[in-house]
Amino acid sequence: MERAAPRGTVRRDLYERALGRGPTPVPAAAPLGPVALRTSTSPLLSIVVPVHGKWDYTRACLASIAAHRPAVPFEVLVVDDASPDRTAELVAASPGVRLVRTERNVGFIGACNLGASQARGAYLLFLNNDTEVQPGALDALVDAADSDDRIGLVGAMLVYPDGRLQESGGIIWADGSGWNYGRDRDAHAPDFQVRRDVDYCSGAAILIRRELFETVGGFDQRYAPAYYEDTDLAFAVRATGHRTIVEPRAVVVHHEGVSHGTDVTGGVKRFQDVNRAQFVDKWASSLAEHLPAASELNVWLARQRGPAGHRGGLVLVADHQMPMPDRDSGSMRMHRLLLALVELGQRVVFFPCNGALLQPYSGDLQHHGITVIADAAGQDTFLREARAALHLAVLSRPQVGWKLLEELRMLAPRCLISYDTVDVHFLRLQRQAELAAAATRRPMCLSWPMTPSKCMAGWLIWRRCTSGTGCRWRRCGMGPG
């Protein structure tokens, strides 16, 4: 049904109701006239929107850009791919929008490449006309690319109109099949809030450096008219030594299926299977290093690429709470330890064992690629599903060791467990026990200089060693002599 009935149709709404999800919202009725944008003639960011009809969606997309303008100078190019409606006329009448027209219908790839050739910004953002950017999304994409020169491509986190997650980065298995990570899950779940290196991001909303896009030759025409061109682009970007990441702060609503429907047996959608075979043939050597298929374990490994792709290390670090490096030295130490593991190319999962997901501290870790799982159920799920992949667990402080050590030994017997003492904790426990005993068990003669000891039965007794007659023992008064 999901393949045959696009979202917003009566059949699809009946299907969604049967599953208890309710009908999928469609864009609210909006004015169908032109929309004005305040753009720049010297842009840093060029937003390329390929369209083929569907002016109501295109207008909603442009209106979302106008409502959530980025802080950087930008331009918007709408590439009209021989639309059968009044789209070209209405775009031309929209102040601040540049209209680029194809001579004939060339498909998504041809339209995107044409728009890119007319762009003036250092960054290109390819944006489907059936998308709506959310507050801060455009700035988040640019900020992510600016954060590291090695980052070549940044994808947005896509959500459905009803708020469900559509994709937080994508996975490609060894046979070339794709996996939308997080599909139909809670978009706000911590698992999906991590800036991660990923196999690819959907072409519905991806940002790439214009110079890099030109270096790799743009979208490969072998995939015309559409499908697998975004996946191929991500692989081509990595082949140049650049990173491909998903930025979860960049949230974009995507009305999936509006452009090409969902039926893979007909129309443009049929090229999804055709182009997969071409993709596998082109990238066979790279795909040989990918995991074979989806499983609970493989999804944990493939959701975040490491230096070795799907096969890199997975490290668990657990502490009693979220590190707050601006508040105490122990937190600063733990924060640096986590970042050091990331710098070593490890995929790091952090457990704050008190269950508190404190901001902005958890957001900072997620920004550095660290997955934070605070709730007990989520921690149990991770240990159960990812246990075979764990090769190192760092347990900090005794209470964390007591909580997780036995379970890790059972679930991940090959995992190297490192106990981080933080300090010489046995002294703290020993002194705490002595103070507690001294508070409840007092000597019979308080005038003597006393030092504590124990009798063979384990009772605390007190010893006097200062008299001229030699050492003498006295009962503490709390037990047998």
Same domain as 263, residue 326: no
Residues 276 and 351 in one domain: no
Q: Residue 178 belongs to what domain range? A: 24-287
Question: Do 318 and 462 share a domain, yes or no?
Answer: no
**Strand pairing class (151-159; 243-254):** parallel
pLDDT > 80? residue 258: no
The Cα 104–Cα 101 span in angstroms is 9
SS3 of the chain: helix, strand, coil, percent, to 5: 35, 20, 45
Is 116 found in the same domain as 47?
yes
Q: Are 216 and 233 in contact (CB under 8 A)?
A: yes
pLDDT tens for each residue of 122-138: 999 999 999 999 999 99
Residue 239 shares a structural domain with residue 384: no
Q: Hey, is 100 helix, strand or coil?
A: strand
Digit-coded pLDDT (tens) for 309-352: 898 789 999 999 999 999 998 899 999 999 999 999 999 999 99
* Residues 6 or more apart in contact with residue 98 via CB below 8 angstroms: 75, 76, 77, 78, 118
Residue 179 included in any domain: yes
**Residues constituting the chain:** 481
Place of tokens 């026990």: 433
* CA triple 293-233-221, angle to 5 deg: 110
Q: In this structure, is residue 9 part of a structural domain?
A: no
Q: Strand 347-352 and strand 314-319: pairing?
A: parallel
Contact by Cβ (8 Å): 293, 175: yes
Structural domain tally of the chain? 3
Neighbours of 368 (CB within 10 A): 15
Residue 163 lies in a domain: yes
Least confident of 410-419, 420-429, 435-444: 435-444
Q: Are residues 393 and 447 in the same domain?
A: no
- pTM value? 0.79
Within a domain: residue 276? yes
Please name the helix (run of DSSP H) or strand (run of DSSP E) that holds residue 427, with its range, or none: helix 425-440
Phi-psi region of 395 (alpha: psi -120 to 50; beta: other; left: phi over 0): beta
Higher pLDDT, 383 or 467: 383
Query: Is residue 445 domain-shared with residue 408, that is, in the same domain?
Result: no
Residue 273 three-state SS: helix
Residues 280 and 341 in one domain: no
| Residues 128 and 76 grouped into a single domain | yes
Tokens at residue 237, please? 């970007």
Q: Is residue 306 part of a domain?
A: no
235 and 123 in a common domain: yes
More confident residue, 458 or 417: 417
Task: Supply 111's token pair.
Answer: 């339209």
Residue 479 inside a domain? The answer is no
Residue 298 resides in a domain: no
Both 254 and 351 in one domain: the answer is no
